[in-house]
Amino acid sequence: MPLLPVALHRAVLCAAALFSTLPLQARPAVEDSIAQRVQACTGCHGKEGRAASDGYHPRIAGKPAGYLYQQLLGFRDGRRHYTLMTGLLEPLSDAYLQEIAAHFAALELPYPPPQPATVSAAVLARGEALVRRGNPARDLQACAQCHGKALMGVAPAVPGLLGLPRDYLTAQLGAWQSGARHARAPDCMAQVAQRLGADDASAVAQWLAAQPVPTGAKPQAAATAGVVTRPKPTLDCGSEPASASPSMRLDAGMGVAQKAGGDKGTGHRVVPATDRAAQVERGAYLARAGHCAGCHTARGGAPYAGGRGIDTPFGTVYASNLTPDALTGLGLWTPADFRRALHEGRSRDGRLLSPAFPYPNYSRVTPQDADALFAFLQSLPAVAQPQPPHALRFPFGSQAALAAWRALYFRPAVHRDDPARSADWNRGAYLVQGLGHCGACHGGRNALGASDGGLGGGIIPVQNWYAPALNDPRAAGVVGWPEAEVVALLKNGVTGGALPRASTLGPMAEVVRGSTQHLSDTDLRAMAVYLQGLPQGLAHKAAPVAPAAPASPIQPIKPGAALYERHCAACHGDRGEGVPGAYPPLAGNRAVVMQPAMNLVRVLLEGGFAPATAGHPRPYGMPPFATLLSNEEAAAVLTHVRSSWGNAAPAVSALDMHRWRGSR
């Protein structure tokens, strides 16, 4: 018994000694606040979220919290469209979005001056009349009826109309007219915008943007809203409190999946579940491990109902409906049909399936696990949603081409435990090579898209992300890491404190959020054991990271250094040292010096948050620089980061920036 405290005590002493030898932080610790976390937003939405009226970006400060929350869900789930915002919000949880909305709603900040109108007084007068009185001839209600007499909105879900840029107002009305913007049903604004028409929309926007915002104006409380003479309540639209609106995300009800994993150790060798409910629970867990929903759920769509397009170099392949609908899903399938799909890549009718469905990996799934997966899928509510036709270039979509491809590259693999290895290693191998399909991204692919079956690093085509080698500690390898840190990365999306901070981004953030965070610690430890036991690859071609020549103190400031000072140092530190727990260091960070540099390009242009997970629920954000830096400037600042503070990686060129900007 006394051994443990002694060992602990020693560990604490060691840690203390280690920290006392670190150089002092150049900046004071960053405040642990929501304002600090959402700096990724205020770059576009203006300091603290109060955008000026001259641009396009809407003010978000002081808007009703329920409204803001619905908009954030809308961007994340595809009812509103702005790629940079969607990318930022994608890895965040409902709970975190609610907190962010509440933060901006609570800000009381002065409004910018009004925008002088650019149309005649007659047009302005028409705009004002429409806002205040509507147009009974077209059955158009007054805007003030819903948006409040003072036009400052009505809590909790109707936004104000004053203090917004004119271009933004016009664009939003246009988006509702064209169907590009949707609110949750009943979407009153779609009707309003239709009845308004383009000319009147412009008149209304002109008048609204030209109005000063009274000091201290706020959304009005729901009870006193608008004109109350109308027979039927008009405020139903979008006005439910935020908590009454479960989003269509998969977070809900997934406690089941997590529980089902239990700590069952090398679960695939456990006797098949006889109890149906237990089998379904187990299947739910395995579906998480296989990240089936990641491909089989369209943005904002019903879970597992398919319809999501997967971009490949040969065109777009659409995932199918896995719910038990008889006509469009797996309703008529038998367990044997399902096993054949997983193991042989054939549909129920014998059709050869595209390898965008990672059956080369799933062929390792044991028959018992396949049956559990099937039982789980059959327990879902049936959703009628046909699989859209693939959009593949000739001849790639044809059965003949698939048959030829399979003859060359597809050999069904069967998982067999290696008796010379530990149970953990075998379980880890099963999860990594099979359900986890880590090699589908982390392996190389040939010109015809066939995976090389390894984990030596690969470019994810079309998406322009590089999934680094899992068998090289300079890339994504974890050999030498404390096991607990590997578990932390896969469970929380970021490492803990024992290492320079590593975090997951882009497609890997999706993997953590949708899959690995839900796995049991036993399974994650098994994956760690397997990953740490990988033979270390020699193929990795990263440039060695040698310390840079000491900089001479009188060196003129290069453009990259000046840009870094201006745009990055506030978070990442003057010397790239980062802020523990908040901002990753850029000095000595393997992700920064990695070759190719395409992930850096994506992170710089698109920004991002680490995934919001149970263990790391409120990540800090990196702002996107796509609209702020030219290709030349972005290349200069990345080159600076890659060649300073001991980093010594090749430069990034403006051409690299152009090539890797990505399809987003």
Residue 601 to residue 595: CA distance in whole angstroms = 12
Q: What separation, in Å, do the N-terminal and C-terminal C-alpha atoms of the chain show?
A: 57
| Cβ(58)–Cβ(165) below 8 Å | yes
Q: Binding residue for ligand HEC (CB under 6 A) from 190, 254, 511, 657?
A: 511
Least separation in angstroms between residue 18's CB and ligand HEC is: 21
Q: Which of 268, 288, 406, 437 binds ligand HEC (CB under 6 A)?
A: 437
Q: Nearer Cβ to ligand HEC, position 84 or 654?
A: 84
Torsion angle (degrees, nearest 10) of CA 195, 54, 221, 42: 120
Please check whether residue 385 is in contact with residue 335, taking contact to mean a CB–CB distance below 8 angstroms. no
Check binding of 360 to ligand HEC (CB under 6 A).
no
> Which of positions 300-339 make contact with ligand HEC (CB under 6 A)?
310, 317, 319-320, 322, 338
Q: Which is nearer to ligand HEC, 583 or 660 (CB)?
A: 583
Alpha-carbon span 617 to 612, nearest angstrom: 4
Residue closer to ligand HEC by CB (options 16, 452) is: 452
Rule CB under 6 A: is residue 505 a binding residue for ligand HEC? yes
Q: Which of 236, 203, 204, 202 is nearest to 222 (CA)?
A: 236
Q: Footprint of ligand HEC on residues 369-398 (CB under 6 A)?
A: 373
In this chain, which of 65, 73, 117, 146 binds ligand HEC, going by CB under 6 A?
Answer: 146
How many positions of this chain bind ligand HEC (CB under 6 A)? 122
Angle made by CA atoms 273, 275, 280, in degrees to the nearest 5: 75
Q: What angle do CA 398, 403, 404 make, to 5 degrees?
A: 100
Contacts of ligand HEC in 462-501 (CB under 6 A): 465, 467-468, 470, 476, 478, 489
The window from 16-24, 417-425, 551-559, 597-605 that contacts ligand HEC (CB under 6 A) reads 597-605
Which residue reads 């400031």 in tokens? 557
Place of tokens 């000595």: 588
Question: What is d(CA 610, CA 502) in angstroms, rounded to the nearest whole number?
Answer: 10
Closer residue to ligand HEC, CB minimum distance, 432 or 526: 432
State which of positions 1-20 bind ligand HEC (CB under 6 A).
none
Question: Which amino acid type is present at position 185?
Answer: A
* Among the residue ranges 252-260, 533-541, 569-577, 647-655, the one whose residues contact ligand HEC (CB under 6 A): 569-577
- What distance in Å separates the CA atoms of residue 468 and residue 456, rounded to the nearest whole number? 7
Q: Is the peptide bond before 186 cis (omega within 30 degrees of 0)?
A: yes
12 vs 193, which CB is nearer to ligand HEC? 193
Closer residue to ligand HEC (CB): 68 or 280 = 68
> Binding to ligand HEC (CB under 6 A): which residues in 226-245?
234, 237-238
- Is residue 131 a contact partner of residue 208, using CB atoms and an 8 Å limit? yes
Binding segment toward ligand HEC, per CB under 6 A, in 409-417, 538-546, 551-559, 564-572? 564-572
Separation of CA 549 from chain center: 38
Residue from 584, 587, 597, 657 binding ligand HEC (CB under 6 A): 584
Nearer to ligand HEC by Cβ, of 214 and 233: the residue is 233
Residue owning tokens 């990795």: 540
Q: Find out whether 595 and 649 touch, Cβ atoms under 8 Å.
A: yes
Q: How far is the CB of 260 from ligand HEC (least distance, A)?
A: 15
- Name the amino acid, one letter, at 126: R
Among positions 123, 204, 524, 542, the unique one binding ligand HEC when judged by CB under 6 A = 204
- Could you say which of 430, 625, 645, 660 contacts ligand HEC (CB under 6 A)? 625
Comparing CB distances to ligand HEC, the nearer of 2 and 659 is 659
How far is residue 99 CA from its own chain's centroid? 17
Q: Does 166 bind ligand HEC (CB under 6 A)?
A: no
Applying CB under 6 A, which of residues 117, 123, 192, 298 lies at the interface with ligand HEC?
192
| Cα 374 versus chain centre, distance | 28
**Residue 262 or 320: which CB sits closer to ligand HEC?**
320
Q: Which is nearer to ligand HEC, 123 or 478 (CB)?
A: 478
Q: Is the peptide bond before 461 cis (omega within 30 degrees of 0)?
A: no
Member of 46, 60, 61, 217 binding ligand HEC (CB under 6 A): 60
Cβ atoms of 41 and 51 closer than 8 Å: no
Under the criterion CB under 6 A, does residue 429 sit at the interface with ligand HEC? no
- Contacting residue, 396, 609, 645, 660, with ligand HEC by CB under 6 A: 609
The token duo for 374 is 């099937």
Q: How far apart are CA 95 and CA 98, in angstroms?
A: 5
Tokens linked to 398: 């044809």
The reply to whether 343 sits near ligand HEC by the rule CB under 6 A is no
Nearest to 75 by CA among 86, 90, 87: 86
Nearer to ligand HEC by Cβ, of 118 and 399: the residue is: 399
Among 102, 107, 353, 450, binds ligand HEC (CB under 6 A): 353
Q: How far is the CB of 658 from ligand HEC (least distance, A)?
A: 17
CA 9/CA 442 separation, integer angstroms: 40
